Amino acid sequence: MLLAVGTVPVRASPLEELIGTDELTDSLPAEAEEYLRGVSPTNTSAETVFARLRAAAEKKTAEAFSSALKTAGVLLIVCVMIALANTLGMDERAPEFIVLAGVASLGAAALSDFDSYLNLGLASLQSIGDYSKVLLPVLASGAAMTGSAGSAAAKYAATALFMDVLLECARHIVAPCVCALSALSVADAAVGNNVLKAAKKFVRSLCTYLLTGLSLAFTAWLALSDVVAASADALTARMAKTAVSTALPVVGSILSDAAGTLAAAAGVLQGSVGLFGIAAVVGMCITPFLTLGARYLAYKLSAGLCSCVADKRLTTLVEDLGTCFGMILAINGAGALMLFISIYSLIRTVT
């Protein structure tokens, strides 16, 4: 009797507690939290979440483009004024000091708050990196429960490694290169020098190849580790099923079927968690992508319009400053893309 009373009934923990889905909502950054309030990682409705994200994107698009077009308007007006000065009959062209004043005006207008945009881009990438450290272990646990422990571990390790490398490269190589490119562009527009042009080209190429190389290396490593580990996981799962069925002739097959059902349930849960993760990353990226993208497009549009009337040096300066914003956008894009590929890969992992 005492034994019966004293026996504490053992209840199986819910699946989500096992893989730790509560941490996903607790660790959400503030910018994603407002879009995912009330949404559960274990029961994510795609329509609800993406409707919220779409509404937020529409609202922020107007703000982002309004601010970007104001700055682009200043650049356009300055370029047009310099072009008009060329037509006022002061010899063949306007005096050099007018063009220099134009360059100083463009540089000051474009770069006055440049560091805030750079910090926005780096902070967004840091948020993505920090959230990946919470999301990926949850997804990896879910994938392990479906019987793909080896694949999940390999993918998690690959993503964590490349995300850290990307963060370090962004902070210590790409960000200084973007600042250097902006300074070189203004200097080249002011004095016009082949050395400065070559330096600009080098800096631009360095950042492009670095980000492209990292993304390609990550995708290749993920694909290769998936191929190698997936085969091992499949073999391990089949051997385990066979061993259980052989050792326990009647009960064994029931046990292995139950394990398969549990793995399928974990797979369904993992899909929901993966969708929540994707929505969280999209929520984190809305503001920086729209802000930086709007700046990039507005500057390129201004450069295109200015090329019809303005001095080539001024047009090139506006275009190069747009490229600087494009490079900050590319850093964020690379980080978000890595995480999306990793999430998709972990959701797809099925034995």
CA distance 351 to 169: 35
91 is an interface residue for another protein by CB under 8 A: yes
Among residue numbers 105 through 124, which ones bind another protein (CB under 8 A)? 105, 107-109, 111-112, 114-115, 118
Q: Please tell me whether residue 92 binds another protein under the rule CB under 8 A.
A: no
- Among the listed ranges 54-62, 182-190, 211-219, 327-335, the one in contact with another protein (CB under 8 A) is 182-190
Residues in contact with another protein, counted by CB under 8 A, come to a total of 35
With tokens 């037509």, the residue in question is 87
Query: What contacts 59, CB < 8 A, 6 or more positions away?
Result: none
User: CA-to-CA distance for 247 and 113, rounded, in angstroms?
Assistant: 70
**Judged by CB under 8 A, does residue 101 bind another protein?**
yes
Among 18, 81, 153, 350, binds another protein (CB under 8 A): 81
Please, which residue, 104 or 255, has the CB nearer to another protein?
104
Would you say 62 or 108 has its CB closer to another protein? 108
Q: Is 180 in the site for another protein (CB under 8 A)?
A: yes
Alpha helices, DSSP H, located in 87-113: 96-111
CA–CA separation, 158 vs 268, rounded Å? 24
152: how many CB neighbours lie within 10 A of its CB? 26
Question: Which range of residues in 50-58, 71-79, 122-130, 261-269 is near another protein by CB under 8 A?
Answer: 71-79
Give residues 21-50 in contact with another protein (rule: CB under 8 A): none
Q: Does the footprint of another protein cover residue 90 (CB under 8 A)?
A: yes
* 285 binding another protein? (CB under 8 A): no
Distance in angstroms (rounded) separating the CA atoms of residues 228 and 166:
25
Of 85, 232, 301, 305, the one binding another protein by CB under 8 A: 85
The number of angstroms, rounded, from the C-alpha of 329 to the middle of its chain's C-alpha atoms is 9
Q: CA-CA-CA-CA torsion for 236, 238, 241, 244, nearest 10 degrees?
A: -60
Decide if residue 333 touches another protein (CB under 8 A).
no
Nearer to another protein, 100 or 120 (CB): 100
**For residues 342 and 140, is the Cβ–Cβ distance under 8 A?**
no
Cα–Cα distance measured from residue 158 to residue 255, given in angstroms and rounded to the nearest whole number = 34
CB 267 within 8 A of CB 36: no
Which of 88, 92, 194, 250 binds another protein (CB under 8 A)? It is 88
Where do contacts with another protein occur on this chain (CB under 8 A)?
70-71, 73-74, 77-78, 81-82, 84-85, 88, 90-91, 94-95, 97-98, 100-102, 104-105, 107-109, 111-112, 114-115, 118, 179-180, 182-183, 186
